[in-house]
Structure 1
Amino acid sequence: MKYDFIFSGLGLAAMMTIIKMAEEGILENKNVLVIEPDDKNINDRTWCFWEEGKGKWDEILKHKWDKAFFINQSVKIDCLNGLSYKMIESKSFYNYYKEITKDYNIKWIKEKFVSFAEDKDSVIVETKETNYVGSYLFNSVFDYNELKNQEKFPLLQQHFVGWFIRSEKKCFNPAEALFMDFSVPQRGNTRFMYVLPVSEKEALIEYTLFSSEVLGSDEYESEIKTYLENFGIETFEIISKEKGNIPMTAYPFWKNNTKKILNIGTVGGWTKASSGFTFSNTDRESKKVVEFFNEKSIDFREFKKSNRFTFYDDLFVDVLYRKNFLGKQIFSSMFTTSNPNLILKFLDEKTSILEDFRVILSCPKKEFIKSFFRRIFK
């Protein structure tokens, strides 16, 4: 049997793409194959994003905040000013995906993806059990060695561990989130905490780093414990844990797309290189996939190109790759000298060129100028 569409991996990018293809009628009378060994029935990650007013995903939100603060030792700044910061737990999204797609001809096989190849008329996908043939492949299986084995584009990692806790006493304000708390010791890196309260006693506490190397498991948890103690929270229950590692690089993943194979998610360059933000970027890119199918002929080599934001991200990663300790200074300078809404707009790649310059001028100039000349002659 030849499938119309094959998806290798069923992460956020694949689910969003399938949902939007279904909503636009692209999956009508089509045979779809999803290759994903996991059941996708547990809450193993959390996605957060900001937007104005009501949005497409509001029905599956865990919580939202109308105040979210940037913090260092000397300032506390509300970043939202009319926006909302929203959180979705992965289990809710998995269930939403299953409900939306239940009436379509989608076959889900729990096999381990191995490789793929393309010929003139089709794509052949190999798993550990057998081979499958399709007209188009959407690949989200990430090979980290592809990044580590190249030297042209600097590579950082956004790595984190989060605890969802329940305290004995009322410790949190569920109307306010800590978006980035840089008051924690930096230890030569870029380190901060997220605090996302969903009630007066419950919150997600997440320790996050932008750095070249990951930490030992005990170090993340030790920092979270110390942070909670400084909050005066000594008695609590850990409801669940999550961890992750997101590559931060301007490496042009999309150049690996072929006529019939589209790399999506992290392996497609859908993650924002300078911040690691995934949800909004994936929402935007999956919408482009649907629009792409309105073209007369499909050639995924034309799906994505570099733009000026790609270059900005390249500069940012290059600076932190060389001087990782500057992260706190860079973010503090941005949020204290510019309107925080402008910073969020810039991170969403919705600013004009004039607004870009306003943000860029708020950054420490010396290191970015040096990076500019390094990168244009790379």
Structure 2
Amino acid sequence: MKKYDYIFAGAGLSALMTVYQIVLSRKFKDKKILLLDSDSKKNNDRTWCFWETPDGDYENLVSKKWNIAVFSDQNYARDLDLSPYQYKMIHGLDFYNFVFNRISKEKNIEFSNQKVINFKEKNNEVIVTTEIETYHCDKLFNSILNAQEILSQQKYPYLQQHFIGWKIKTQELVFNPEKATFMDFSVAQKGNTRFMYVLPFSETEALIEYTLFSKDLLPEKEYEDEIKKYLEKLRITNYEVIEKERGAIPMTSYPFWKNNTQNILNIGSAGGWTKASTGYTFKNASKKSRALVSFLLKENDFRKFHRKDKFWFYDLLLLDILNTKNHLGSSIFSSLFKKGNPTLIFKFLDEETSLYEDIKVILKCPTKPFLQALCNRIWNMK
């Protein structure tokens, strides 16, 4: 059986970011590293969007950026000046190619296109089993989400940000490529939190996504019917669907870190690296990967890596509300963006605000549902 220092079970965003940061540090040349994934990472299977200041870690991969984001509901629309941030988009395949090209130059790092089916800790090492081979390692980084583990408990709600998107090309000049529609809640809510998301690349091309924050996925036809209705509302009739994408991102404050052991660390969505209240992953994963590499240089016990903070609790309260009253999502986000300072809101969502700034943001939200959620949490802790 082959032996490695580090094995990554799953080579998704968080694993690749972590390995990339390991390479950049130049302090792990003596570590033998293996990435295992059933996907070859040779397809453009997703698009990541995030907000950050102009010069980010992956600026060279950004295919489009916007300085203005539009927020809408049935009653109003607001152009959000994102300065000093920009809203950025990176294609999955561009990211995969960039990272794999970089790590291919490292003699101590390997990638194998295999599906991990099991792993266990034994005698201070980890045994990893794939469909065709068994490996040993000192440390395992697991990014394979076990959704059933979360669904089997009741203490922490589990929602999903799920969507279908169409990249379309129109015959007429219909889009403003300088503005991204961040959230448009003018669509029928149907008892859920539902909105449209529009990323225009030019006057004739855009990505249109129908997105929900809710527990259950919809039949494919329902997403696509809503996209068609939205395009009709925009008076867009002559268009070609160039690409389609579909996704479901976990939204939960479940304490994944409690399953970490001395030698097994859950990362990515399997480790709670997705921002629970929004489903955004790229920026969070970037921060976490840098923090993890710094941790590896100082510590050897993975149980010490995670620290619970105030933002975890804020996210939990919002998910508690959406779990029982999913229809309130539109009013909560509308209150926030209608009255709030966009720069401060995005800073808050990036988990970089002070307590004073937190209060300024939170006070823009409807008071009653959050007080009820807080009281319920306090009561359940007794």
Q: TM-score, normalised by structure 1?
A: 0.97
Match of 2:345 in 1: 343
Cα distance in 1 for partners of 2:84, 2:186 equals 25
Cα distance in 2 for partners of 1:342, 1:348 equals 10
Match of 1:256 in 2: 259
Deviation at 1:282, TM superposition (A): 0.4
Which one of the candidate residues 144, 147, 155 is aligned to 2:150? 147
Deviation at 1:121, TM superposition (A): 2.9
Query: 1:260-279 counterparts in 2 under 5 A?
Result: 260-279=263-282
Match of 2:3 in 1: 2
Query: 1:1-378 counterparts in 2 under 5 A?
Result: 1-79=2-80, 80-104=82-106, 105-295=108-298, 297-378=299-380
Deviation at 1:206, TM superposition (A): 0.7
Structure 2 unaligned runs (5+)? none
SS of equivalent to 1:377: helix
Q: Which letter maps to 1:355?
A: E
Of 10-19 and 20-29, deviating more is: 20-29
SS of equivalent to 2:275: coil
Cα distance in 2 for partners of 1:5, 1:358 equals 43
Deviation at 1:358, TM superposition (A): 1.2
Measured on the aligned residues, the alpha-carbon RMSD in Å equals: 1.1
SS of equivalent to 1:178: strand
Moved over 3 A (4+): none
Percent identical across equivalent pairs? 50
Q: Which letter maps to 1:252?
A: P
Cα distance in 2 for partners of 1:140, 1:171 equals 40
Cα distance in 1 for partners of 2:93, 2:265 equals 26
Deviation at 1:120, TM superposition (A): 3.2
SS of equivalent to 2:161: strand
SS of equivalent to 1:270: coil
Of 316-325 and 75-84, deviating more is: 75-84
Q: Which letter maps to 2:203?
A: E
Q: Which letter maps to 1:87?
A: M
Deviation at 1:203, TM superposition (A): 0.7
Cα distance in 2 for partners of 1:41, 1:358 equals 44
- Relative distance call for 1:238 and 1:26 in structure 2 (3 A) is farther
Cα distance in 1 for partners of 2:15, 2:187 equals 36
Q: Which letter maps to 1:60?
A: L
